[in-house]
Amino acid sequence: MLLIFKKRVREIGNRHRSLSGFISSEKINKDVVFESSLERDFIILQEFNDAVSCYLEQPFKVKLANDLSYTPDFIIEYFDESPEVVEIKYSDDPLLKDKKYLEKLDLMREFCKKNDFRFSLYTDVDIRVLNDEYLNNLMHLINYRNIYSFDIYSQDQMNKMKRKMSKILDFLVDEGEMTIKNLLFKLKLLEEYPGELLFYLWYLIANRFISCDLHSKINYDTKIWKD
């Protein structure tokens, strides 16, 4: 269903009163634009959500009853669930008490129900408060996901990086589950590129080559393992 919506219908420009920008998405292989830090955080959650197959911001515009129109913030397609139309708002946004806006949301819910979509309103409570440490971890790890796309590395450098990370994975398979601190200590004893270890480790965790509990704050005592 989502494959119909390949391009956002409304371009997002710079806004003086909110944070706007884009995230390079590996899930949909394009830049995803956000117009608030809350939307940015929501996008990060989708990037790491294995149940999500793809998503799109500002996917379509709907003409509703009473001369109202509506453009959702996102549409999410899941592997095993019906598509979800999403509205993002801060919990203290005055619009959430505005009768015309609430009427628009009710009409949009009816539209979604008729078209086999789900409709959800997510606030900062849903996105940030309920995810807390998980989101903090993802915001750190997402910076390490796309290191091979950096133009600063030559092909020879990238090949060396791959070989070094393969050694880390092999070592973890042989040794089994351990803390990040123990892994760093043991590899440093082997004089294996100590200055680069954390950089490679974050990449491997961010891209699911190494597993850990992402719902607890990642630190040197975090246990990691190779599935």
Q: What are 21's strand-pairing partners?
A: 34
Handedness of CA 151, 154, 157, 162 (dihedral sign): positive
Q: Assign 213 a pLDDT band (cuts: 50, 70, 90).
A: very high
Residue 122 to residue 92: CA distance in whole angstroms:
12
**Residue 37 neighbours by CB distance under 10 Å:** 15
Q: Which of 21-25, 158-162, 171-175 has the lowest mean pLDDT?
A: 158-162
> Domain map of the chain by residue range?
21-129, 151-225
Looking at the predicted structure, is the pLDDT value of residue 16 above 50?
no
Residue 183 to residue 172: CA distance in whole angstroms:
8
Q: What is the pTM of this model?
A: 0.87
**Tens digit of pLDDT for each residue in 127-165?**
999 999 999 999 999 999 987 665 667 888 888 888 889
Cα Rg, the chain, nearest whole Å: 21
Q: Which of 85-94, 116-125, 157-166 has the lowest mean pLDDT?
A: 157-166
Note the pLDDT of residue 225: 97
Mean pLDDT across the stretch 59-77? 93
Note the pLDDT of residue 17: 45
What does the mean pLDDT of the chain come to?
89
Architecture of domain 151-225: Orthogonal Bundle (1.10)
Q: Tokens for 168?
A: 């880390």
**Tens digit of pLDDT for each residue in 104-119?**
999 999 999 999 999 9
- Spatial neighbors of 223 by CB under 8 A, at least 6 apart, are 177, 178, 179, 212, 213
- Domain 21-129 sits in CATH at 3.40.1350.10
